């Protein structure tokens, strides 16, 4: 998708079909509606690291296509707030890692102007952060007031059973079969945050393709050793 002046690509896996939404069904439904052009101000999405916030924002942009733009503030914070110019023409603006620029006067002023343009024009804004709007250290009261009007959703973390389901969904999305026993073995041999588990699955996918092997416990044990 075209990204105004932002040289960014969405991750290939970041689509709604590959997101295991246990406990987050209402949030996913809203993001799908926004991506499809529903008239709503948008929402603030928050939660612990590696719970899928970036995945959801990118999935919304993937579905909305050229009507949207994804802005990773962690990556672009050093570039300066000028990168926000012109983005209000999009129907859906997704700002990731809001906490990265909170407290920076130049960024907050530019974001306040962007929020005014977007929301006053009836377009939608989705913001993601590690904390709730009330906890985010935004210094500009007007910006905080604007963002507080957005619907707020906390991304629910997965339990072990749901982590297995999420791994198997990602595996199917990549054309792999991940048996229950292999998935349980991965959980017992890896950090349990989904970013680490998905990274391990990526490695196993590559090694399985090279070796023309299935994801059995012996093969996984061999790769991990």
SS3 (DSSP) at 42: strand
- What pLDDT was estimated at residue 5? 46
- Digit-coded pLDDT (tens) for 161-207: 999 999 999 999 888 899 999 999 999 988 888 989 999 999 999 99
Q: Which domains are seen in the chain, by residue range?
A: 16-154 (3.40.50.300), 160-224 (1.10.8)
- Digit-coded pLDDT (tens) for 53-83: 999 999 999 999 999 999 999 998 888 899 9
Q: Which parts of 151-210 are beta strand (E)?
A: 151-154
- Digit-coded pLDDT (tens) for 7-52: 456 666 789 999 999 999 999 999 999 999 988 999 999 999 989 9
pTM of the predicted protein model: 0.89
Residues linked to residue 128 through DSSP beta bridges, in sequence order: 45
Residues 6+ apart with CB under 8 A from 74: 96, 97, 100
């Amino acid at each position: 998708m075209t990204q105004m002046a932002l040289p960014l690509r969405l991750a290939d896996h970041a689509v709604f079909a590959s997101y295991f939404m246990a406990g987050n069904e209402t949030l996913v439904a809203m993001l799908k509606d926004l991506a499809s052009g529903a008239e709503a101000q948008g929402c603030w999405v928050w939660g612990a690291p590696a719970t899928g916030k970036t995945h959801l924002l990118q999935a919304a942009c993937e579905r909305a296509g050229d009507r949207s733009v994804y802005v990773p503030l962690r990556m672009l914070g050093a570039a300066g707030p000028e990168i926000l110019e012109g983005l209000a023409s999009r129907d859906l603006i997704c700002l990731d890692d809001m906490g990265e620029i909170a407290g920076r006067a130049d960024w907050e002023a530019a974001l306040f102007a962007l929020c005014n343009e977007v929301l006053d024009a009836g377009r939608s804004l989705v913001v993601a952060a590690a904390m709730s709007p009330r906890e985010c250290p935004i210094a500009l009261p007007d910006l905080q007031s604007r963002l507080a009007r957005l619907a707020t959703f906390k991304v629910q973390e997965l339990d072990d059973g749901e982590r297995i389901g999420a791994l198997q969904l990602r595996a199917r999305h990549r054309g792999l079969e991940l048996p229950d026993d292999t998935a349980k073995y991965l959980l017992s041999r890896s950090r349990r945050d989904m970013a680490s588990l998905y990274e391990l699955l990526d490695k196993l996918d590559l090694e399985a393709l090279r070796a023309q092997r299935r994801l059995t416990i012996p093969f996984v044990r061999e790769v991990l050793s």
